[in-house]
């Protein structure tokens, strides 16, 4: 019988007591201690090692996106509730004094800010799609990204953060190649997480589309089997946490950015993302708060020291 406890508050308290996470007073925005960060980086490095034979091109972007790109991606049609917008001050001397006075008087001041040209990146893969614009090379392309992403979903659950990191792989090319790549990675992901002795399972899934129309979109996404997740119990046995997701976008991005195969044929995209904080928390929940006590073969995969 599984005797681990799944009390959210208890788990969070233990994570804090062991110095793994550092509360900041903002839900979903805790700091990471050195042990947490070491596990996270070692897991990320393990994924990159495992995927190395595929020869993905590694790109790096800042954790902000052009406001214009967020509009083009259709993000605000589907997930306005998760969006994060960057605002700053562009006013006069007089307004600057008013801003400062209001802050010190404990009054609201945000209306004196105006939106900048950037939003916070909500998915690590988003800046990549415009770079594929035009005709692809024969065989398509494969890119990998590791980045911080923001989602406005404040929560007491230590697994539901506002700012977290994703290691993503993004494939673009012939529809059948892209789908086969996504399916193969689902098995590869299960196998890799299984070697870390995580009690994982996969399931078809949907995105948290906004509102009533969103519920229909989510149902259609499930029907078409466009999204899969690898789930692992972290804060609940009954509701395991998605630690890795696999998305087949079909023509959603290629049509928006004019992306075609080398011969002009229709191209598709798919991406997969490991939620690095969630994998770290799954490892801690499964194997214990001190990695020195983890099973030897799990340690040897991550630390190469057993
Ligand atoms: N709020 C969050 N905090 C931490 N990690 C997250 C969060 N949301 C998503 N992730 C991680 O990022 C990965 C890819 O994101 P994706 O958009 O597919 O998640 P999602 O399906 O929206 O997650 P969920 O259904 O739990 O909200 C997920 O598999 C998960 O590991
Ligand atoms: Zn993605």
Residue 2 lies in a domain: no
ipTM confidence score? 0.91
In a domain, 289, yes or no: yes
Instruction: With respect to residue 62, please indicate whether it lies within any of the assigned structural domains.
Output: yes
Domain at 285, CATH number: 3.30.930.10
In this structure, the answer to whether residues 229 and 171 fall within a common structural domain is yes
- Tens of each residue's pLDDT in the chain, 306 residues: 566 778 888 999 999 999 999 999 999 999 999 999 999 999 999 999 999 999 999 999 999 999 999 999 999 998 899 999 999 999 999 999 999 999 999 999 999 999 999 999 999 999 999 999 999 999 999 999 999 999 999 999 999 999 999 999 999 999 999 999 999 999 999 999 999 999 999 988 788 888 888 888 888 888 888 889 999 999 999 999 999 999 999 999 999 999 999 999 999 999 999 999 999 999 999 999 999 999 999 999 999 864
Cα distances (Å, whole numbers) of residue 33 to 17, 142, 241, 248: 11, 33, 22, 35
Residues 73 and 133 in one domain: yes
The residue out of 119, 140, 173 marking a domain boundary is 119
Q: Do 216 and 95 fall into the same domain?
A: no
Co-location of 71 and 115 in the same domain = no
Tell me the angle at which helices 8-17 and 276-287 cross, rounded to the nearest 10 degrees. 90
| 248 in the same domain as 174 | yes
Residue 211 lies in a domain: yes
Q: What's the confidence (pLDDT) of residue 221?
A: 81
Ligand 2 centroid vs 6 CA: distance in angstroms?
A: 29
Same domain membership, residue 149 and residue 49: yes
Residue nearest to atom 19 of ligand 1 (CA): 245
Q: Is the CB of 163 under 6 A from ligand 1?
A: no
Residue whose entry in the numeric block shows the structure tokens 């020869």: 55
Residue 130 Cα distances to 68, 148, 172, 279, angstroms? 12, 19, 12, 29
Per-residue model confidence (pLDDT) at position 32: 98
Q: Are residues 103 and 227 in the same domain?
A: no
94 and 218 both lie in a single domain = no
Best residue among 245, 282, 285 to mutate for probing ligand 1, ranked by most atoms within 8 Å of CB = 245
Residues 22, 129: one domain? Answer: yes
Residue 240 corresponds to which tokens in the numbers above? 């395991």
Residues 115 and 214 in one domain: no
CA angle (26, 31, 37) in 5-degree steps: 150
Same structural domain, 115 and 126 = no
Domain holding 180, by residue range, is 8-84+122-302
* Locus of tokens 């490095």: 45
Nearest to 72 by CA among 146, 133, 150, 163: 133
Among 97, 119, 141, the domain boundary falls at 119
Minimum CA distance residue for ligand 1 atom 11: 275
Between CA 143 and CA 150, with CA 144 as vertex, the angle to 5 degrees is 125
Q: Does the Cβ of 279 fall within 6 Å of ligand 1?
A: no
> Which pLDDT score is estimated for 2?
67
Could you tell me if residue 1 is inside a domain? Answer: no
Nearest protein CA to atom 5 of ligand 1, as residue: 275
| Ligand 2 center from residue 38 Cα (angstroms) | 24
282 CB near ligand 1 (under 6 Å): no
Which atom of ligand 1 is nearest to 275's Cα?
A: 31
Instruction: Please check whether residue 3 lies inside any domain of the structure.
Output: no
How many domains does the chain fold into?
2
Q: How far is ligand 1, taken at its centre, from the CA of residue 7, in Å?
A: 21
Q: Are residues 17 and 112 in the same domain?
A: no
Question: Does residue 139 sit within a domain?
Answer: yes
Q: Give, for ligand 1, the residue of 145, 278, 283 to mutate: max count of ligand atoms closer than 8 Å to Cβ.
A: 278
């Amino acid at each position: 019988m599984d005797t681990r406890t799944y009390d959210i508050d208890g788990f969070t308290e233990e994570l804090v007591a062991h110095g793994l996470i550092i509360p900041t007073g903002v839900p979903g925005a805790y700091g990471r201690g050195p042990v947490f960060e070491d596990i996270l980086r070692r897991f990320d490095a393990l994924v990159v090692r495992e995927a190395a034979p595929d020869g993905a091109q590694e790109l790096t972007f800042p954790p902000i996106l052009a406001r214009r790109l967020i509009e083009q991606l259709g993000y605000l049609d589907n997930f306005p509730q998760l969006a994060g917008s960057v605002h700053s001050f562009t006013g006069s001397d007089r307004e600057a004094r008013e801003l400062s006075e209001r802050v010190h008087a404990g009054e609201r001041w945000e209306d004196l800010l105006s939106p900048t040209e950037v939003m916070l990146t909500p998915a690590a893969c988003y800046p990549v799609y415009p770079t594929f614009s035009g005709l692809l090379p024969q065989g398509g392309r494969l890119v990998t990204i590791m980045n911080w992403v923001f989602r406005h979903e404040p929560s007491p659950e230590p697994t539901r953060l506002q700012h977290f990191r994703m290691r993503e792989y993004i494939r673009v090319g012939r529809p059948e190649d892209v789908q086969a790549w996504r399916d193969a990675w689902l098995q590869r992901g299960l196998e890799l997480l299984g070697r870390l002795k995580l009690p994982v399972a996969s399931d078809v899934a949907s995105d948290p589309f906004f509102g009533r129309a969103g519920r229909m979109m989510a149902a259609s996404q499930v029907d078409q089997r466009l999204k899969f997740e690898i789930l692992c119990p972290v804060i609940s046995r009954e509701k395991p946490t998605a630690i890795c997701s696999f998305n087949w976008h079909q023509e959603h991005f290629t049509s928006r950015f004019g992306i075609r195969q080398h011969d002009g044929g229709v191209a598709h995209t798919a991406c997969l993302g490991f939620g690095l904080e969630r994998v770290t928390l799954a490892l801690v929940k499964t194997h214990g708060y001190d990695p020195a006590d983890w099973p030897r073969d799990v340690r040897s995969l991550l630390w190469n020291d057993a």
